[in-house]
Structure 1
Amino acid sequence: MSKKYIVTLLIISCCCFNVLAQSPIQLHQYPQRFFRYPLDLPPSTAGSFGELRGAHFHSGLDFKTNQTTGYPVYAAYDGYVSRLRIQFGGFGHAIYITHPNGYTTVYGHVKTFTPAMEKLIRDEQYKQQSFEVDFKLDPLQMLVCQGDVIAMSGNEGASAGPHLHFEIRDTQTEETVNPQLFGLTIPDKIPPAITSVGIYHLDGNPFSEKTPRQFLAVTGSNGSYRLAKPQILNLTGQIGFGLSTTDMTSVSPNHNGIYSCELKIDGKTVYTFAVERFAFDQTHAINAYIDYPELMKTRRWVQKCFILPGSKISLYPQSVNRGIITFNDGEVHDVDYVVKDVAGNTSTLTLKVKSGRVEANAQVFKAAGNLFHYDKVNEFNSDKVKVQVKPGNLYDDLNFTYAVLPRRPGAFSATYAIHNRFTPIHDNYDLWIKPDSSIGKFADKAVIVSTEGAMAVGTFQDGYIKAQPHTFGDFFIKIDTVPPTIVPANIKDGANLASAKGIYFRIGDNLSGIKTYMGKIDGKWVLMEWDFKTKVLRYSFNADIAPGKHIFELTVTDYKNNSKNFTATFTR
């Protein structure tokens, strides 16, 4: 019986396997000794699962490839190729393999695929007439066995250097799971490092940039840490704690993320964070986990050890009162941090806290402006601006503020301060700004721009420009009537390209961004690939272009439908 046939039987029957081994802070068990490493290199990572990235938790392991490309990438287990994806940024080139044990593995930033995959991708690109494609395959369309070469490692998409991004996802829920919990471990005997702790005086108020906070330096090594300035902390009322911490493995100098953190009061655990698994619609909640205002102000990464009420993410397996501690008994208490990596290496830090006494009647928070609730629809209206924030987009109640600021040169409205940039938004919100009457025929070219440089493409609606920004900040209206730019690198009218491997351009746009690009040779659509890093748009010659004279056409369009055309004849 062939191995491919056995794989087919496994897929059809969807067998379930026994699970072994359970981490101390782990809600689920995972199959062991099934998945192999996706590379035949000593396992070393540049990025850990769940580590802190800009606006998201890292969703896999970044396996190092000796700072180069072209290493064989292997199927981690038997299964079938269930999805192929090509995108401008992100993973660039990615393969998804679904396995009969209930999990799907993902391989990102690869350079090239197998010839069979390459053909499927090219066929789909020409069918959709798009470089970017994302499509699923039938279960029996492309079977693979554990150890089959499925790709060559690369540096495609939004990658900071050559490596293989590897994930294991729950096929049913599509949650991504820490691969090291399946036994794909990285040599590690180094405990996490703790560099500072944070103390937040909450006292019943929503968390914001105005929350009183203090940061204390930490010293120590080899898992044992203490305050750089030994002291008993005098704290009263509702207090939240935080810390700055990173981790390293034994085989890489990279500073990665921790696996878990527990906060204990007098030996009792009141808060737990563990990067076991999470859903992709939750990953932006990293901005609820970190001290987002502090990051915006100072670029300091502080991980809060208390949970905001609007944060819905599965990385908090346990807490008491969301990790917020009330000090009001006049006693001395031990506050212990227990920080671990996934290998179990542990670092600890103990704070001594002298609790004060507070009145039984705590002060009730009263908003100075408009009180927005994290779990309700919130609206604000003025004669020029409307704001609506739907439930699930705030992590805590908000004292919403608004102001009218001076007009900027070239703007078609005043500048409006829509709260401030120190409060994160989970997804987006609705913003309407009324333009000046002078906008006239340019209303359909209007965009809403922030003074920080963010841009939200707007639509004209009932006298307003409506957009859905992803951040609060200072916004105003501009118009985009300027078409994209096209700068040819190796072609001009009458060019001889007989020895050229392709045709190359640099394209760009000044405001709303490039929406589409389309290349044609002799009136027929051709595949053009836009590189995320170099921003070079290229067409690679193939056998379809016969010797002789041809006409090349390129049209680039932005999100406000301004278009730029380029046409040239060339000879092969």
Structure 2
Amino acid sequence: MKTKFFLVIIVLSFFIFGFEKNPSLISPLSFQTYCTSSFGEYRFNHFHGGVDFSTKGEEGHSVLAVGDGRISRVRREPSGYGRVLYLDLNDGRTAVYGHLIRFSRELGIEKILKEECEKKGTSFPGDIYFSPPIEVKKGDVIAFSGELGIGSPHLHLEIRKGDELCDPFFEGIPFETYSVPSINSLYLVQSEEGAKVNSSLFPQKISIGKNGEGKYILKENVSIEGRADIYIAFSDSMGSSEYRTLPSEIEGKIDGEEFFYVNLKSVSLSHYKESPYLFEIIDGNVYLKMSKSDKITLNEIRGSGLPKLQGRHNLEIVVKNRGGKSAILQGILNFSENRSELKNEFPFSKYKILETSLYSNGVGIAIIPIEEGGKSAIYINDKPAPFFFSRRSQKYEILIPKSALSKGSQEIRMNEKKLSGLFCKGGEQILTKQFAVEIPEDAFAKIESSDNAMSVSVSPKGMTPFATLSAHKTEHYKEAIYANNFFFSRLNSKPKNLFKSENYKILKDDKPPVWSKIVVSTIPNIMEKELRMEIKDNLSGVDPNSMKVFIDDREVYPDWDSDASSIRVDLTNYAKGEHNVSASISDKMGNFSPLPKTKFFL
């Protein structure tokens, strides 16, 4: 009877207090800090898969096990996360720590890393698995923070559940300092051909005003003829007003009925490169599109955007962050039918082209007449093309709909005025004199090229990383493709995804890297000595996989600091006094640069 009584008490306790889904975790740092980047943020071609903690602009702070578990593997790489450690928690989750400067010596990890590097003859031996894994307790020091990989000193932390990247703060990592979210900006972008926002065929930035903390209103009457989508920029801060982070949850309603919802609590590793389907770049800023694409597979996203309506309706957008604080935007939207009609000509022949822009629904051309009279038509590859036409104050808007463009490259002219560049609908490879460009199926682009240079702009702009570029040339000595003078790829036919840059050119690099500063320095906080060797290369850049370093004629396997373009050699086990270093390294075009024996003192 006593056993049954206790079982009943235990069962009742679970019903009353609930099952603890995620056992509590602790902060990975021993001091109070703030976040510089949050989970789910846009990263050009992926979602940010973790959170970044400030380490006060310093390296060498103790990094703690956030829970009981076993260190299963580590890795050192020349960019990306730099040094990374994987802690398998006892509850089945995995904590991933990035940008470390040292692993724990007490746990023997530095010794194992050194042995693997010597065994494979490289500083970057790939994943190093521990058998058996190294057991640790919550709060144990497992590593030290750094700045290896990409970025200034900080600690990157992920929590994974199998294939899922999960927001660490929803997984039990404690954090208390949240600001009220801000709604920074809003665009309405036409989603059907000929639709208008405030009588314009082009996307419109809508004025918003603040009406108290966390309360925003539309400052203008907004009219929508046809269908349009809302693109919104919003943020909060997590401990420091200097860094803006991304609140996790946003919901849009019309007359109280939900038209969009997303909660960025988790992202599948196999789909985390789908960020361009949720975010867009407008005027250089990141906006979230409040309409679900069929190509995005987030766990908590729904809604096909603003419905097609008639008349006056109430808009409400609520942004909520991880701390439960929220901001609300309210306003009135006036909907009507899309009455735009396709035209074959516009009513003047003398005009000035103000700008040509790519939009998600077509090519936009803004013009201003020089004098009245005459007629003009638009031609695509010398065939008359239909377009939408609208007057906006003193200027006129022309929208050549996306449907008027066929696959492949096309020239557009207005009477005898040819628009610069080729306009290319996605789904086919476009060949220029030196380059081959492939635009994704649901995008289009404008390409301008010369003998050894090319510019390519993609619409929607967020789709840029899905476009690829290669060159016809394959064997030109020391030549490669550069994006804004940064190395992009060798001259081969293997396509590579575009950078953020719109400008590409073929340049020759036959100059080797230059050895610059060589100094003994001290890593803050852990006070360990290291030899820092800076290398400069102004074109293709240093290839860290080629580095060879010898201390006192014995090969060593150092870290590579990509942001500082520096080799960093651990001097912990070297005696005080005089030593010598010799080394060699190449750039990405194979230009070789040796460093003769050079003395340094400890």
Q: TM above 0.5, one fold? A: yes
State the structure with more CA Rg. 2
Q: 1 CA distance for matches of 2:56 and 2:530? A: 29
Q: 2 CA distance for matches of 1:126 and 1:19? A: 56
Correspondence for 2:159 among 156, 168, 191 = 168
Q: Kindly state the Cα deviation for residue 238 of structure 1 after the two structures are TM-superposed.
A: 0.8
Correspondence for 1:303 among 283, 288, 294 = 288
Alpha-carbon distance change, 188 to 118 in structure 1, aligned in 2, over 3 angstroms: same
Match in the other structure for 1:143 = 135
Match in the other structure for 2:541 = 513
Instruction: Write out aligned runs for 1:100-499 (5 A).
Output: 100-115=90-105, 116-138=108-130, 140-161=132-153, 163-170=154-161, 172-173=162-163, 175-188=164-177, 190-204=179-193, 211-227=202-218, 229=219, 231-249=220-238, 254-280=243-269, 282-292=271-281, 294=282, 298-309=283-294, 311-314=295-298, 317-319=301-303, 322-327=304-309, 329=310, 331-358=311-338, 365-368=402-405, 370=407, 377-382=427-432, 384-389=434-439, 394=440, 397-405=442-450, 413-420=451-458, 423-425=461-463, 427=465, 429-435=467-473, 443-450=476-483, 452-460=484-492, 467-471=495-499, 473-487=502-516, 489=518
Determine helix, strand or coil for the equivalent of 2:403.
coil
- Letter of the 1:232 partner, please give it: N
Alpha-carbon distance change, 539 to 20 in structure 1, aligned in 2, over 3 angstroms: farther
Per-residue CA shift, 1:295-315, capped at 9, x if unaligned?
xxx333322212445x43416
Unaligned runs of 5+ in 1: 1-17, 23-28, 406-412, 492-499
Please identify, of 299-308 and 190-199, the stretch whose mean Cα deviation from structure 2 is larger.
Answer: 299-308
- Letter of the 1:142 partner, please give it: I
Instruction: Write out aligned runs for 1:3-22 (5 A).
Output: none
- Letter of the 2:210 partner, please give it: T
* Contact 1:428–1:468 (8 Å) recurs in 2: no
Alpha-carbon distance change, 19 to 384 in structure 1, aligned in 2, over 3 angstroms: farther
Q: 1 CA distance for matches of 2:251 and 2:16? A: 24
Alpha-carbon distance change, 20 to 563 in structure 1, aligned in 2, over 3 angstroms: farther
Match in the other structure for 1:32 = 22
What is the RMSD computed on CA atoms of the aligned residues?
3.9
* Percent of residue pairs identical: 21
- Letter of the 2:245 partner, please give it: N
Q: Kindly state the Cα deviation for residue 352 of structure 1 after the two structures are TM-superposed.
A: 0.7
Q: Kindly state the Cα deviation for residue 168 of structure 1 after the two structures are TM-superposed.
A: 0.6
Size of the alignment, in residue pairs? 501
- Letter of the 1:33 partner, please give it: P
Determine helix, strand or coil for the equivalent of 1:366.
helix
Q: Kindly state the Cα deviation for residue 239 of structure 1 after the two structures are TM-superposed.
A: 0.8
Determine helix, strand or coil for the equivalent of 2:132.
coil
Alpha-carbon distance change, 535 to 239 in structure 1, aligned in 2, over 3 angstroms: same
Alpha-carbon distance change, 385 to 61 in structure 1, aligned in 2, over 3 angstroms: closer
Alpha-carbon distance change, 284 to 110 in structure 1, aligned in 2, over 3 angstroms: same
Match in the other structure for 2:596 = 567
Q: 4+ residue stretches of structure 1 with deviation over 6 A? A: 18-22, 250-253, 360-364, 544-550
Q: 1 CA distance for matches of 2:308 and 2:29? A: 50
* Contact 1:431–1:468 (8 Å) recurs in 2: yes
TM-score, scaled relative to structure 1: 0.76
Unaligned runs of 5+ in 2: 1-13, 196-200, 343-387, 389-400, 410-423, 521-527
Q: 2 CA distance for matches of 1:53 and 1:103? A: 24
Per-residue CA shift, 1:407-433, capped at 9, x if unaligned?
xxxxxx342344558734465554343
Alpha-carbon distance change, 212 to 66 in structure 1, aligned in 2, over 3 angstroms: closer
Q: 1 CA distance for matches of 2:89 and 2:447? A: 52
- Letter of the 2:92 partner, please give it: G
Determine helix, strand or coil for the equivalent of 1:539.
strand
Q: 1 CA distance for matches of 2:276 and 2:17? A: 32
Alpha-carbon distance change, 151 to 505 in structure 1, aligned in 2, over 3 angstroms: closer
- Letter of the 1:416 partner, please give it: M
Match in the other structure for 1:536 = 566
Q: Kindly state the Cα deviation for residue 276 of structure 1 after the two structures are TM-superposed.
A: 0.8
